Amino acid sequence: MKRCPFLLLILLTIIFYGCGKKIESRNAGPSEKTIASAEQLFDLGHTPSERQMMRPALETQKQNFLSLRKMAFKNSEGLALRFDPELGYPDFSTEEKGPEFSPAENIQRPDNLNDLAFYSIGELGHLVRTQQVTCLELTRLSLNRLKKYGSELECVITLTQSRAEARARHLDSLLNRGQYLGPLHGIPYGAKDLLAVKGYPTTWGATPYKDQHVNETATVIKRLDAAGAILVAKLTLGALAMDDVWFGGKTRNPWNTEEGSSGSSAGSAAAVSAGLVPFAIGTETLGSIVSPATRCGVTGLRPSFGLVSRNAAMALSWSMDKIGPLARSVEDCAMVFDAMRGADYKDPIAVDRPFNYESDNDLSGVRIGYLKSLFEEDHFGAEQEREALQTFKRAGAHLVPLEFPLQQYGVENPWDLIIILTAECGAAFQQLSLSQKDDLLVRQRPGDWPDIFRAAQFIPAVEYIQANRARIRLQNMMREVFQSVDVYMTPSLSGPSLMITNLTGHPQVVVPSGFIKENQPHSVSFVGGLYDEATVLKVARSYQDVTGWHLKHPPGFID
Backbone phi, psi, residue 222, to 5°: -60, -40
Cβ atoms 541, 314 nearer than 8 A: no
**455, 488 contact by CB (below 8 A):** no
The closest of 258, 249, 275, 256 to 148, measured between CA atoms, is: 275
CA separation for the pair 217, 222 (Å, rounded): 7
265 is an active site residue: no
90: number of Cβ within 10 Å: 7
Q: Is 289 helix (H, G, I), strand (E, B) or coil?
A: coil
213 DSSP β-pair partners: 201
Contacts 24+ apart (CB under 8 A), 61-69: 61/18, 62/29, 62/30, 63/18, 63/19, 63/21, 64/18, 64/19, 67/19, 69/430, 69/431, 69/434
Determine if the peptide bond prior to 265 is cis (ω within 30°): no
- Report the alpha-carbon angle 221-537-551, nearest 5: 85
Asked if 508 contacts 527 with a C-beta cutoff of 8 angstroms, the reply is yes
> Residue 273 catalytic?
no
Q: For residues 472 and 500, is the Cβ–Cβ distance under 8 A?
A: no
Pairwise CA distance, residues 509 & 327, whole Å: 11
CA atoms of 221 and 293, how far apart (whole Å): 21
147 is catalytic: no
List the catalytic residue out of 120, 265, 268, 288.
288
Query: Exactly one of 192, 210, 234, 322 is catalytic; which is it?
Result: 192
Question: How deeply is 93 buried, as exposed, middle or buried, from its count of CB atoms within 10 A (0-12, 13-18, 19+)?
Answer: exposed
Is the CB of residue 139 less than 8 Å from the CB of residue 230?
Answer: yes
Which DSSP letter does residue 237 get?
Answer: -
Q: Which of 264, 265, 329, 513 is flagged as catalytic? A: 264
- Number of Cα atoms under 13 Å in the Cβ half of residue 14: 6
Greatest pairwise CA separation for the chain in angstroms: 99
φ/ψ (deg, to 5) at 427:
-75, -40
Pairing assessment for the beta strands 520-528 and 508-517 based on DSSP bridges: antiparallel
Q: Which residues are catalytic?
A: 192, 264, 288
